[in-house]
Structure 1
Amino acid sequence: MLTAIHPKLPMRDKTATKDFYIDQLGFRVFGNADFDDYLMVEKDHIQIHFFAFRDLDPMENYGQVYIRTDDIDNLYKSCAANGLVHPNGPLEMKPWGQREFSLLDPDNNLLTFGQAI
Structure 2
Amino acid sequence: MAGNAVSETPGNHGVDFGAWTIQRVDVGKHLCWNEGSKNLAQIVNSRCVLAVRDLQLSTSYYVDVLGFSKDPIDAPGWSFLTRDNFRVMLGECKDERPAGELGDHSWFAYWNIEGIDEFYKEIAGRGALVTSQPANKPWGLREFTLRTPDGHRITCGQAITA
- Cα deviations by residue, 1:3-39 (Å, 9 ceiling, x for unpaired): 1010111111111111111111110012x32222221
Report what 2:38 is aligned to: none
Residue 27, structure 1, aligned to residue 49, structure 2: no
Q: Structure 1 CA distance, aligned partners of 2:147 and 2:95? A: 18
Q: 1:6 to 1:75 in 2, by over 3 A?
A: same
In the alignment, is the contact (CA less than 8 A) between 1:9 and 1:63 conserved in 2?
no
Percent sequence identity is 30
Q: Structure 2 CA distance, aligned partners of 1:53 and 1:85? A: 22
Q: Structure 2 CA distance, aligned partners of 1:85 and 1:11? A: 16
In the alignment, is the contact (CA less than 8 A) between 1:67 and 1:111 conserved in 2?
yes
Report what 2:97 is aligned to: 57
- Once superposed, which parts of structure 1, at least 4 consecutive aligned residues long, lie more than 3 Å away? none
**CA shift for structure 1 position 81:** 2.1
| Structure 2 unmatched ranges of 5 or more | 1-41
Report what 1:91 is aligned to: 134
Give the TM-score normalised by structure 2.
0.65
Q: Structure 2 CA distance, aligned partners of 1:42 and 1:110? A: 18
Report what 2:25 is aligned to: none
Give the TM-score normalised by structure 1.
0.88
- Cα deviations by residue, 1:50-82 (Å, 9 ceiling, x for unpaired): 122212333324141111111101001112223
The letter of the residue matching 2:138 is P
**CA shift for structure 1 position 47:** 0.5
Residue 16, structure 1, aligned to residue 60, structure 2: no
* Larger radius of gyration between Structure 1 and Structure 2: 2
In the alignment, is the contact (CA less than 8 A) between 2:66 and 2:128 conserved in 1?
no
SS of residue paired to 1:78: helix
Give the counterpart of 1:67 among 101, 105, 111: 111
Q: Structure 2 CA distance, aligned partners of 1:37 and 1:27? A: 18
Q: Between Structure 1 and Structure 2, which shows a larger proportion of strand residues?
A: 2
Give the counterpart of 2:144 among 101, 109, 112: 101
**CA shift for structure 1 position 85:** 4.4
Greater length-normalized contact order (CA 8 Å, ≥ 6 residues apart): 1
Q: Structure 2 CA distance, aligned partners of 1:106 and 1:77? A: 19
The letter of the residue matching 1:64 is F
| Structure 1 unmatched ranges of 5 or more | none
